[in-house]
Amino acid sequence: MSIISLLTDFGLQDGFVGVMKGVIWGIIPEVQIADISHQIEPQNVMQGAITLWRVAPYFPDGSVHVAVVDPGVGTERRALAAQLGNQYYIAPDNGLLTPLIQDAKSQDLPCQFIELTNSKYWLSAVSNTFHGRDIFAPVGAHLAAGIDLDDLGNPFDDPILIELSQPTRTQEGWQAHVVAIDIFGNIETDLRADQVESLEQIVVRIKGREIDGLVSSFGHRQAGELIAVISSEGFIEIAVVNGNAALDLKVKIGDVVEVLIKSLE
Amino acid sequence: MSIISLLTDFGLQDGFVGVMKGVIWGIIPEVQIADISHQIEPQNVMQGAITLWRVAPYFPDGSVHVAVVDPGVGTERRALAAQLGNQYYIAPDNGLLTPLIQDAKSQDLPCQFIELTNSKYWLSAVSNTFHGRDIFAPVGAHLAAGIDLDDLGNPFDDPILIELSQPTRTQEGWQAHVVAIDIFGNIETDLRADQVESLEQIVVRIKGREIDGLVSSFGHRQAGELIAVISSEGFIEIAVVNGNAALDLKVKIGDVVEVLIKSLE
Amino acid sequence: MSIISLLTDFGLQDGFVGVMKGVIWGIIPEVQIADISHQIEPQNVMQGAITLWRVAPYFPDGSVHVAVVDPGVGTERRALAAQLGNQYYIAPDNGLLTPLIQDAKSQDLPCQFIELTNSKYWLSAVSNTFHGRDIFAPVGAHLAAGIDLDDLGNPFDDPILIELSQPTRTQEGWQAHVVAIDIFGNIETDLRADQVESLEQIVVRIKGREIDGLVSSFGHRQAGELIAVISSEGFIEIAVVNGNAALDLKVKIGDVVEVLIKSLE
């Protein structure tokens, strides 16, 4: 049983996702389809990249991830299929796979890119504005059905990468940044907990507020309290217990979060 | 492997869609279920009709589409099953299938309507307010499981049709109308591009703004620019590159869009 | 073919639900997965409990319902698996199953609880903040794949129950309460229609408005009219035809709804 995931900025109102499923099941009726997210902010390639990178590695080997956040649809931007480790991806070549590519390269995993040029695997009529339906969905379905990656087009080795937020070392510790805000208002930073040498000694400073130390989870403090935790992906995260930290602190993507290490002061 | 799609105005919060899936899988556990949309505006039969018509034809032959936008639930309005071409539909008889019926008739495809009267295929207890769960879902499941359309009730041939927006010819070109606004704020009109005789010579006028000519896709112009394109369904569409045209122009469904043909002036 | 349902407060934006599906299909690739709701208000155990209770009984016997509304994640709160009647549940032990447990007990159905302690059925790395992905999803998948409930951990018999809203008898009839407001703005109360002895004689009083009698469904009155109906779950419900009663009346959960019986006055 093969598996396809979908990640887009298409929303759930207009039927754009449903039509992709109809196209996919017309090619491979037995495939399982999981929605990762269709509420990526329109054209926000960075948000799409981070969301896909967090989720895709939990899927079984051989899964095909069809990701479409595609401000360049209908221009000459390449469309690609990729193998990264034991998983497959179909996406516009605009940086959407950046963190997945970086992880695969740093771990010496298989890393292969094909430009989608073989229109045999597309719908017969291709619009200029909806390649999710006309190209990405059918190509993903054919790949899940067993077509070789090589059959989809021509290999290349210079996929577009976008610059990802990185924490920087300071005299007092780290300067991190807000990279994601989830539905609960929890604020995820770009600083991995395992990068910090004295986790039990940190003070987190954000928007003029200071948080002394990490707690192990939300339920260890009272409702309404501002806390820092290690996120489920292993990064430093700021939250309000049973509340919404991002709204309370008026935080936005890119804002600075200082992580001070007491022994350095 | 058979396929059911669902389109409703039920939203995703209250479990109304999940319960339909439980009912369906109790009858035919192996059927694939695709959500087309559950965010049709409450009781907006027109929006449901347009969304279903755009999506359903991309599903494989034999698919069963269960569509429930049903302000008349619990009254004497008919409930129906239909075969249109090679696809099947379960819906209240309130116009939700109008453009699909018109297309099937204009193309001389099979067109058959059954009033749902055979309660053998319904849940044993039928509420007055939730026929999606109690009638439409189980009937769709039985149809996908191989029951004959004729077994569901009595044939009839006068389904309710709603009046669809149509462009009108003018001395300068066409007077079109806004028929849909998608999640990106793109504005779709009722004017098919192939109805316009001199596509390379048009000026689009909307809300006092003029757009000179069509571009082939969003990425061909700068962010923020107001453009006209051919939509993925083949209609004249107005968009703001990486922006939200409907919000910018304060456009609503039914607003006039003039398409002027320069050679006629 | 086995079936898993998911109910959470995770929303659909961040990929939290998609990653659970990836984990599940890695364990049992052929299982069907239905979303019941992922738009439970964050940490609102009561809303989750009511939604799950309305939907789960419509699923076929043997279904596994994974429900995660979990303000206590990462604390010592128990996680549980339960058999209630012929269905299975995986959830934090925080009251999320309360009405399902009460129904099973009152109907003398099988009722068994296991504390999840056998980490063999969890992901190998368990975070402190996302047990939906790391514990509940994989345990649900193993259960759907045929593992015995007993293998998941240790039996116990004192699951946490929350206090559910109950109508009280008054001299004039019943004092009921608002327990749910759905996407249409329909207002559901805690008073079952079959508790009321003279249904054809009632007056419903809510927020200073009076509704004389029940109608059988929305379509029997004019758009805009305030009505009372029997909900699809059998409770007294207040609605505005083609409108939004909760917004119109500024109703919130817990508000009083008086149901007066004329013969008692």
Q: Digits of tens for pLDDT over chain B (265 positions)?
A: 699 999 999 999 999 999 999 999 999 999 999 999 999 999 999 999 999 999 999 999 999 999 999 988 888 899 999 999 999 999 999 999 999 999 999 999 999 999 999 999 999 999 988 999 999 999 999 999 999 999 999 999 999 999 999 999 999 999 999 999 999 999 999 999 999 988 889 999 999 999 999 998 888 889 999 999 999 999 999 999 999 999 999 999 999 999 999 887 6
Give, in degrees to the nearest 5, the angle at Cα B141 between B137 and B146.
150
pLDDT of residue A70: 93
Chain C: closest CA distance from residue B221 (Å): 29
When computed from its CA atoms, the radius of gyration of chain A, rounded to whole angstroms, is: 21
Taking an 8 Å Cβ-Cβ cutoff, which residues of chain C contact chain B?
1, 3, 5, 7, 12, 32, 34-40, 51-52, 54-56, 58-60, 63, 180, 182-184, 216-220, 229-232, 234, 237, 242
* Cβ pair B38:A71 closer than 8 A: no
- Which residues, in sequence order, are bridge partners of residue C8? C68
Q: Distance (Å, rounded) from C-alpha B33 to C-alpha C87? A: 21
Is residue A42 classed exposed, middle or buried when 0-12, 13-18 and 19+ CB atoms within 10 A define those classes? middle
Q: How crowded is residue C207: how many other Cβ atoms within 10 Å of its Cβ? A: 15
Which 8-state DSSP code applies to residue B210? Answer: E
- Residues B129, C58: C-beta atoms closer than 8 Å: no
For the stretch C182-204, pLDDT in tens is 999 999 999 999 999 888 899 99
Average pLDDT over residues A111-138: 96
Half-sphere exposure of B142 (CA within 13 A, CB side): 22
CB contacts, 8 Å: B44 with chain C = none
Candidates A12, A75, A133; nearest CB to B58 = A133
- Kindly state the average pLDDT of the residues A239-243: 94
Residue-level pLDDT at B75: 81
Q: Give the residue on C whose Cα is nearest the Cα of A61.
A: C26
- C-alpha span between B159 and B80 (Å, rounded): 9
Select from B22, B56, B24, B51 the least CA-distant residue to B38.
B51
Give me the phi and psi of C129, to 5 degrees please. Answer: -120, -5
ipTM associated with this complex: 0.96
Q: What is the pLDDT of residues B114-164, one digit of tens each?
A: 999 999 999 999 998 899 999 999 999 999 999 999 999 999 999 999 999
Candidates B10, B22, B75; nearest CB to C55? B22
Q: B28-44 as b/e, with b when 16 or more CB fall inside 10 Å?
A: bbebbbbbbbbbbebbe
CA C18 vs. chain centroid, Å, equals 21
Q: Which residues of C touch B124 (CB under 8 A)?
A: none
pLDDT at C30 over 90: yes
Per-position DSSP letters for A6-35, written without gaps between them: EEES--SSSSHHHHHHHHHHHH-TT-EEEE
CA–CA dist C187, C177 (Å, integer): 10
Instruction: Please return the burial class of A206, using the count of CB atoms within 10 Å of its CB with bins 0-12, 13-18 and 19+.
Output: buried
C36 to chain B, closest Cα gap in Å: 4
Q: For residues C66 and C126, what is the distance between their CA atoms, to the nearest angstrom?
A: 17
Confidence check: pLDDT of C72 > 90? no
pLDDT at B76: 84
Chosen from A58, A184, A221 to mutate, greatest number of chain C CBs within 10 A:
A58
**Residue A116: per-residue pLDDT:** 98
Give the residue on A whose Cα is nearest the Cα of C13: A39
pLDDT band at A80 (very low <50, low <70, confident <90, very high): very high
Closest in B55, B182, B237 to A19, CB measured = B55
Q: Residue A119 — very low, low, confident or very high, per pLDDT cuts 50/70/90?
A: very high
pLDDT at C217 (0 to 100): 85
**How far is the alpha carbon of B245 from chain A, nearest alpha carbon, in Å?**
13
- Which residues of A touch chain C, with CB atoms under 8 Å apart? 1, 3, 5, 7, 12, 32, 34-40, 51-52, 54-56, 58-60, 63, 180, 182-184, 216-220, 229-232, 237, 242, 244
* DSSP structure string for C70-98: -TTTTSS--EEEEEETTEEEEEESSSTTH
Interface of C with A (CB under 8 A): 10-19, 21-23, 25-26, 29-30, 33, 42-43, 71-75, 77, 127-130, 133-134
C143: enclosing H helix or E strand? helix C137-144
DSSP secondary structure string for all residues of A125-191: S--SS-HIIIIIHHHHHHHHTT--GGGGEEEES----PPPP--EE-SSEEEEEEEEE-TT--EEEEE
Q: What is the pLDDT at residue C176?
A: 97
Q: Tens of pLDDT along C153-188?
A: 999 999 999 999 999 999 999 999 999 999 999 999
pLDDT in tens, A21-58: 999 999 999 999 999 999 999 999 999 999 999 999 99
Average pLDDT for chain C: 95
CA pair distance B199, B187, nearest whole angstrom: 18
For residue range C14-25, what is the model confidence (pLDDT) as tens digits? 999 999 999 999
Predicted local confidence at residue A197, as pLDDT: 87
Q: What band does C265 get if pLDDT is binned at 50, 70 and 90?
A: low
The per-residue pLDDT of chain A, averaged, comes to 95
Query: What are the C-alpha distances in Å from B69 to residues A12, A14, A249, B57, C14?
Result: 16, 15, 41, 19, 29
Yes or no, beta carbons of A13 and B220 under 8 Å apart? no
What residue has token string 């076929």? C60
Kindly determine whether residue C216 and residue B25, on different chains, have CB atoms separated by under 8 Å. Answer: no
Among chain B, residues having any CB pair with chain C shorter than 8 Å are: 10-19, 21-23, 25-26, 29-30, 33, 42-43, 71-75, 77, 127-130, 133-134
Residue A265: is its pLDDT beyond 70? no
Average pLDDT over residues A130-155: 97
pLDDT more than 90, % of chain C: 90
Backbone φ and ψ for C100, nearest 5 degrees, come out as: -70, -40
